A = this chain, B = another copy of it.
Amino acid sequence: MPPRPGLSKSELEVARVVWMLKDANVRAVYEALSETRDIDFTTVQTYLRRLEEKGYLNVRLDGRSRFYSPKVRPRTVIRETVDDLVERLFGGEAMPLMKHLVEERSFSVEEIEQLRQLINRLEGADDEQ
């Protein structure tokens, strides 16, 4: 179990922006989010505050403004989130999700090739006992 409260869907979205920006104040996050979505500045403020309260972000004061940066590694958050989804939607089996993705998200030829490479690499580093 994660030692932190989970994130809601929208919170995840905001967290992702911070991951991309590495270190950002409210305005920067607000602007990034505004690209794709109609949202109020103070709403972003609230999200960032909650993300900090929940232990996902660090805050640093620079002058009068607060800069947020990841505290938990994206990879970790992604793992927890995806695991949770797999648990609830597929009873813990990851394969059906893979299958779903492969079948429903029409990948390009290049992407398929990329995938194949990934799998090949896996087989090399196989840690089955």
A residues near B (Cβ < 8 Å) are 9-10, 12-13, 16, 75, 78-79, 81-82, 84-86, 88-91, 94-95, 97-109, 111-112, 114-116, 118-119, 122-123, 126-128
A106 and B94 CA atoms in complex are apart in Å by 10
Number of copies: 2
Given contacts A89-B16, A108-B128, contact A119 B102 (CB under 8 A): yes
Q: Is A102 in contact with B89, judged by CB distance below 8 angstroms? A: no
Given contacts A81-B89, A115-B119, contact A101 B94 (CB under 8 A): yes
A47 and B109 CA atoms in complex are apart in Å by 42
A103 and B82 CA atoms in complex are apart in Å by 13
Q: Is A115 in contact with B98, judged by CB distance below 8 angstroms? A: yes
Interchain CB contact (< 8 A) of A102 among B13, B104, B108, B118? B118
